[in-house]
Amino acid sequence: MKTAILSIKNLHKRYGKVHAVNNVSLDIHKGNVYGILGPNGSGKSTTLGIVLNVVNKTSGEYSWFGGTQETHQALKKVGAIIERPNFYPYMTAKENLELVCKIKGINYSKIDEKLEIVELTDRKDSKFKTYSLGMKQRLAIASALLNDPEILILDEPTNGLDPQGIIQVRDIIRFIASQGTTILLASHLLDEVEKVCSHVLVLRFGEILYNGKVDEMTSKSNYFELQSDNNNLIIDLLKNNFTVDTISEVDGKIEVYFNQELEASTLNRFLVEKGIYLNHLVKRKLSLENQFLALTNQNNS
Binding site for Mg ion (CB under 5 A): 44-45
* CB-based burial label for 263 (10 Å; 0-12, 13-18, 19+): exposed
- Helices marked H in 57-132: 71-74, 93-104, 110-117
Q: Least distance in Å: CB of 157 to Mg ion?
A: 11
Closer residue to ligand ADP (CB): 189 or 276: 189
Angle between helical axes of 93-104 and 110-117 (0-180°, round to 10): 130
Select the residue interacting with ligand ADP from 38, 79, 85, 149 (CB under 6 A).
38
Q: Which of the residues 5 through 34 are near ligand ADP (CB under 6 A)?
A: 15, 18, 20
Select the residue interacting with ligand ADP from 1, 2, 17, 40 (CB under 6 A).
40
Query: Is position 109 an interface residue for ligand ADP (rule: CB under 6 A)?
Result: no
DSSP 73: H
Closer residue to ligand ADP (CB): 49 or 79: 49
Select the residue interacting with ligand ADP from 7, 26, 43, 79 (CB under 6 A).
43
Query: Is position 41 an interface residue for ligand ADP (rule: CB under 6 A)?
Result: yes
258 has which bridge partners?
A: 244
Pairing of strands 244-250, 253-258: antiparallel
Separation of alpha carbons 119 and 112, rounded Å: 10
Query: Is position 42 an interface residue for ligand ADP (rule: CB under 6 A)?
Result: yes
Closer residue to Mg ion (CB): 44 or 204: 44
Give the 3-state secondary structure percentages of the chain, helix then strand then coil, rounded to 5. Answer: 40, 30, 35
Task: Write down the number of H helices and E strands in the chain.
Answer: 11, 13
Closer residue to Mg ion (CB): 45 or 137: 45
Select the residue interacting with ligand ADP from 45, 143, 158, 296 (CB under 6 A).
45
Separation of alpha carbons 137 and 143, rounded Å: 10
Query: Is position 46 an interface residue for ligand ADP (rule: CB under 6 A)?
Result: yes
Q: Least distance in Å: CB of 291 to ligand ADP?
A: 19
Which has the closest alpha carbon to 154: 197, 93, 94, 114?
A: 197
Provide the CB-side half-sphere exposure for 88 (13 A, CA). Answer: 11
Closer residue to ligand ADP (CB): 119 or 191: 191
Closer residue to Mg ion (CB): 39 or 89: 39
Closer residue to Mg ion (CB): 101 or 154: 154
Separation of alpha carbons 254 and 87, rounded Å: 54
The residue number with the shortest CB distance to Mg ion is 45
Q: Least distance in Å: CB of 20 to ligand ADP?
A: 3
Query: Is position 44 an interface residue for ligand ADP (rule: CB under 6 A)?
Result: yes
Binding site for ligand ADP (CB under 6 A): 15, 18, 20, 38, 40-46
